[in-house]
Amino acid sequence: MTVPIRSTTDLTVLDRDLRRDHDAFMSGGVPRPDVPGDVIESWGRVRAGKHRATPDAHHPGHISPDELELRRATHPLRDAVEPLQRLFAQSADDASMALGVFDADGVLLWRGGSSTILPEADRLDLVEGSRWDEDSTATTAVGLAVHHRRPTRLFGAEHYCSSLHGLFCTAVPVHDHRTGEMVAIAGLAGPALQMQPAASAFTSALAALGEHEVTLAHQRELADLRFSGRSQLAGLHGPGLLIDDDGWVAEGRGCTPPVRVAAPTDDMRQFVPGLGICVVERLGKGWLVRPAGPTGPVLAQLDLSGEPSVTVTGDGEPWRTVLTRRHAQILLLLADAGEQGLTSQRLSQLLFGDDGHSVSVRAELSRLRRVVGALVSSRPYRLAPRVELRVSPDQLDVYRAPAGRRRGERHRNPA
C-alpha cells in the first residue's frame, strides 16, 4: 500500500502533509489515515527495535569488499546487470534518478545513474555494499520490500530518517523462476518533488527484465549441461536423466523426462516417475540420474478396492502411485507370467483376445513404465527381478483376463 500519486497530484502539498504526519508520529501523535499502514507499522518497528533509531540518524551498515565481490559473483542476476543498466540508461528521462540492484537481504550490489545523481547517492551512503534493510536504514522502500516481499514505493517523509525526506524510492522484488523465491530487488530513487507517477511501472519493467535474464541464464546452463553430459547419458544401458543442482532436467534418454526432480545430493536414492528408484552421480556442474533397479526384495502391494493403486516398499523410501484399470490388469498379467515375461503380441491376446493390438500394448506399457519405473522390465515385458506383487484374492474378480484365469494371492518374480 502506498500514498496514491497521480499526474494531478501536487507533490509540494503531499510533501508538506507527510512531513507533518512524520513529525506527529515522532512526537507521540497520530498521523492522518492517509499514511499507509505498512509505513506506520515500519515506523513503529524501527522506534521499538533493538537499535532504537532516531529520525536524524542515517548510518547504513556495510559488508566488506571481499564479501561484496563474493555476493556479486554468486548472485543469479550477475549476468543481468549490464542489460538492466543499459535499459535504465536508455529509458530514464530524468538524469537525477538512480538505479539500485539489491540482493534479497537488502544489500546494494550494483547501481547506476548519471554524474548528476551519483554524488548525492554517495552523500547518502547509497553505495555498493551498503545495507538497506529495515534494521540498517529504518523505513525505506527496499527495507519494506525485504520485509513484505512485494513492490513498494515511498515518498519523502514516509522514510523514517529525515535525511531521506527529499527522495522518492521504489522497490520491486525479482524472483527466480526455479524456486519462486525473491533473489533481488530492483529500485529507483530520485528527488521527491521531481517524481513521475510512472516510476513504479518503470521499476517493475526493470524487475521483469531481471527475471527474464535469470531464466535465460538458467537455460544456457542447462544447454551447457546437455552438451557436456551427452556422451555419458548415451553410454547408459537404460534410461537416464541429466539434471542440475536444483533438480531441473536438462536432458532425458529412454523415458519421458519430468521437468524437475528432487534436488540431488551425493549417494542419494530417490523415486523418479518413469524411472523408479534412482541413484545420482556427480557429472561436472550437474548430475547423472539412472535407475538403481531393485537391490533387495521389493513388495508392490496392488490395491483394487477402488481406484487402482500400487504401494511399493523394500527398496528406499516407500512410495505410492495411482494406476488405470488397464495398467493394474497388465501388472497382474506380468506377475502371472513370471520370469519368462510376455511379448507385446501375447499381451495383446490376453488383453484383447487377438494379437492385432501390439502397437496399443506397447503404448500402454510405455505409459505404465513412466508411472511405475523400474518395477517393470522389457524385452520381454515382465516384473523386474526380486519384485513381488501382492493383491487380495477377493479383489480379483473384476480384473479377470478375457480367458477368465484367476490369479493367486502372491506373485513373485525370482532373482
**pLDDT for position 367:** 83
Q: Among the listed ranges 251-255, 286-290, 406-410, which one has the minimum average pLDDT value?
A: 406-410
Residue 33 DSSP code: T
| pLDDT > 60? residue 412 | no
**pLDDT for position 400:** 54
Percent of the chain having pLDDT more than 70? 91
| pLDDT > 60? residue 411 | no
Q: What is the pLDDT of residues 365-408, one digit of tens each?
A: 888 877 787 788 877 888 887 788 888 777 666 565 444 343 44
11-200: CATH topology is Beta-Lactamase (3.30.450)
Higher pLDDT, 269 or 20: 20
**Which CATH architecture does the domain made up of 298-412 adopt?**
Orthogonal Bundle (1.10)
Dist CA 393 CA 409 (whole Å): 5
For the chain, the straight-line distance linking the first and the last C-alpha, in angstroms and rounded, comes to 66
Same fold, 11-200 and 298-412: no
Dist CA 230 CA 224 (whole Å): 10
| Geometric angle at alpha carbon 75, from 58 and 92, rounded to 5° | 65
**pLDDT for position 403:** 43
**pLDDT for position 296:** 63
Tell me the pLDDT of the chain averaged across its residues: 87
175: left (phi over 0), alpha (psi -120 to 50) or beta: beta
For the whole model, what pTM was predicted? 0.71
Q: What is the pLDDT of residues 147-199, one digit of tens each?
A: 999 999 999 999 999 999 999 999 999 999 888 899 999 999 999 999 988 99
**pLDDT for position 298:** 81
Percent of the chain having pLDDT more than 90? 52
**pLDDT for position 22:** 96
In the chain, the largest separation of any two C-alpha atoms, in whole Å, equals 90
Q: What is the pLDDT of residues 36-61, one digit of tens each?
A: 999 999 999 999 886 667 788 777 89
**What residue ranges do the domains of the chain occupy?**
11-200, 236-291, 298-412
